[in-house]
Structure 1
Amino acid sequence: MSASADGLIRQWKRDGEPVGKPWYGDGGGVGTIAVSPDEAMVVCGHTDGRLRLWNIKEGSTIGEPWEGHCYAVVCLDWSPNALEIASGSEDGTIRRWNPDTGRQIAPPIETSHGWGHDNVVLSLCWSKDGAHIFSGSADTTIRKWRVIDGKEVVVLRGHTTAVRSLCLTPNERYIVSASYDFSVRIWDLKTNQAVGDPLLHDDRILVVAVSPDGTFIASAGPDTKIYVWNLEAALERYQVGVLVLWCYHILF
């Protein structure tokens, strides 16, 4: 499935053949979409700040648009149990929605609460147990939030420009981030520190993904290239570096 600034949502076969007619939600451009875990529904975030839920089989909207964001919705993610949807916006807030009612589940996570991001929220990622949400922002930070009360738990700093994409490794020991600063970074969630050297592109990076077995990282951006990295090798280089440094201090 694809969405566009033209306001249309389209379905495609893998060979590029379109499936049926495009859908139009009458809400301006579509900035982001996310398919439900059971692949029965898709939620769309629009440039007018509203969200719309679609029945994929019927190709029709479910209920009325969801309202809450003041500016364009930039990123969406379903919780693992499909009972919640998280949205991030140009208004700097993260909001949680009940897909059955279209209503917000809790107050938004926003700067005025003393938490939130200081700029556009560009990426979201749920933990497998649904207890935490990770977010990346144009304020250069990655933040971990506790879902039960919206409290900020961790702030990861290291990127120099916007964090555009996030992905947890299958074992959830690490989170991988991609940024407009041309780098992919790996973060150890036990120490809350970046590990190893940044993995570099020749241009901004728009998206990053980790393979289901946790072996590889794939990243891509406007330079038209897809980079594939060996996660284990990147971590081994870091661990070897730490071991050598530790031995050096012991010996001297």
Structure 2
Amino acid sequence: MSSSSDGSIHRWTKDGKPIGKPWVSDGGVVGSIGVSPDETMVVSGSADGRLRLWNIKEGKMVGNPWKGHNDAVICLNWSPDAVEIATGSYDGTIRRWNPDTGRQIAPLIKTSHGWVYAVKYSPQGDKFASGGSDKMIRLWSKKGELLVEIKGHADAVTSLCWSKDGTRVFSASSDCTIRTWQSSDGKELIVLRGHTKAVTSLCLSPDESHLISASRDCSVRIWNLETNQPVGDPLLHDGELLALAMSVDGNYVVGAQLYAKAYVWSLEAVLKQQGCDQVGVRIHRYCYWRLH
């Protein structure tokens, strides 16, 4: 699924064929989307500061837009048990919502981030992490209490993900680095360097053996988490990358770039060719869409 600055959400096969008609939001740029854990619903965040819930099977919006944020919604995440959704905005707040009612379930959190670029629940669902334009990462309890404040990046924190056991947090930044932190106390464990421009998105392979990163330097990189080294050459695109996603089975990686294009890569093929010439693992399949 993809969202775009044209206000639409599209569904695709991995071969790049559209599925049904696009869903059209009247809230302007759709800056973020998230599929529910049971894959029946999608929530989207828009430039008008509202959220919209969509039924995948029926292909239409459920109820009215959710009101709360005072500026564009930049990021969102479903809790692992699907009972709440956390959202971050240009208004500097994190809000949490009941997806069944569209109502906020807790007081808003004034983060001090400035712009909130990333919010991510731990796999256990007992806490969540946020990152923003103030270069900081903050870990929060489910009650909204600040647990840990992490300093280390030299520019905005753009993307976050957790290890399965919740002991580590991975972060991407506009300072061109990817860092690993101990979630209990915010201790920095590893710094990965290789990208030459802002790192915009991260995802972790299902077996946690590899971390995948996308960057405005027009590349996707795969990192071996045992050696903390890149695997082979970067996967090159012909535009700056804005978003990254991995299929649930871990077989495919999608890099979505500026100017309405996305590449789909076979991760298995790339790993088989690690350290070799990239020509053999170029584009596995591709599709096009409008990017926000």
TM-score after normalising by structure 1: 0.89
Give the Cα–Cα distance (whole angstroms) in 2 for the partners of residues 31 and 176 of structure 1: 21
Give the Cα–Cα distance (whole angstroms) in 2 for the partners of residues 160 and 44 of structure 1: 29
- Which of residues 84, 88, 93 in structure 1 aligns to 2:136? 93
Q: Is the 8 A contact 1:13 1:19 kept in 2?
A: yes
The letter for the 2-side match of 1:161 is: K
Give the Cα–Cα distance (whole angstroms) in 2 for the partners of residues 122 and 240 of structure 1: 30
SS in 1 for 2:75: strand
Q: Is the 8 A contact 1:33 1:43 kept in 2?
A: yes
Question: After superposition, where does 1:36-75 map in structure 2 within 5 Å?
Answer: 36-75=79-118
Question: After superposition, where does 1:75-224 map in structure 2 within 5 Å?
Answer: 75-99=118-142, 101-106=143-148, 108-110=149-151, 116-224=152-260
> Between Structure 1 and Structure 2, how many residues are aligned?
234
Taking only the aligned residue pairs, the percentage that are identical comes to 47
Moved over 6 A (4+): none
Once the two structures are TM-superposed, the CA of residue 217 in structure 1 deviates from its matched residue by 1.2
Once the two structures are TM-superposed, the CA of residue 33 in structure 1 deviates from its matched residue by 0.9
Q: Of Structure 1 and Structure 2, which has the larger fraction of its residues in helix?
A: 1
Higher relative contact order, chain-length normalized (CA < 8 Å, sep 6+): 2
Render the CA deviation track for 1:27-86: whole Å, top value 9, x for unaligned. Answer: 322111111111111011121211111111121111211123240100111100000110
Q: Is the 8 A contact 1:202 1:223 kept in 2?
A: no
Give the Cα–Cα distance (whole angstroms) in 2 for the partners of residues 16 and 122 of structure 1: 30
Q: Which residue of 1 aligns with 2:4?
A: none
Once the two structures are TM-superposed, the CA of residue 16 in structure 1 deviates from its matched residue by 4.2
Give the Cα–Cα distance (whole angstroms) in 1 for the partners of residues 221 and 161 of structure 2: 15
Render the CA deviation track for 1:80-125: whole Å, top value 9, x for unaligned. Answer: 00001100111110001112x211122x102xxxxx2100000001
TM-score after normalising by structure 2: 0.77
Render the CA deviation track for 1:181-226: whole Å, top value 9, x for unaligned. Answer: 1100000111111111111111111111222222221111223222
Give the Cα–Cα distance (whole angstroms) in 2 for the partners of residues 96 and 27 of structure 1: 23
Give the Cα–Cα distance (whole angstroms) in 1 for the partners of residues 54 and 250 of structure 2: 28
Give the Cα–Cα distance (whole angstroms) in 1 for the partners of residues 113 and 276 of structure 2: 48
The letter for the 2-side match of 1:173 is: S
The letter for the 2-side match of 1:44 is: T
SS in 2 for 1:234: helix
What RMSD, in angstroms, separates the aligned Cα atoms of the two structures?
1.4
The letter for the 2-side match of 1:119 is: D
Residue 24 (structure 1) aligned with residue 67 (structure 2): yes
Q: Structure 2 stretches of 5 or more lacking a match?
A: 1-42, 278-292
Q: Is the 8 A contact 2:69 2:91 kept in 1?
A: no
SS in 2 for 1:235: helix
Q: Is the 8 A contact 1:168 1:174 kept in 2?
A: yes
Q: Which residue of 2 aligns with 1:225?
A: 261
Give the Cα–Cα distance (whole angstroms) in 2 for the partners of residues 64 and 195 of structure 1: 43
Q: Structure 1 stretches of 5 or more lacking a match?
A: 111-115, 242-252
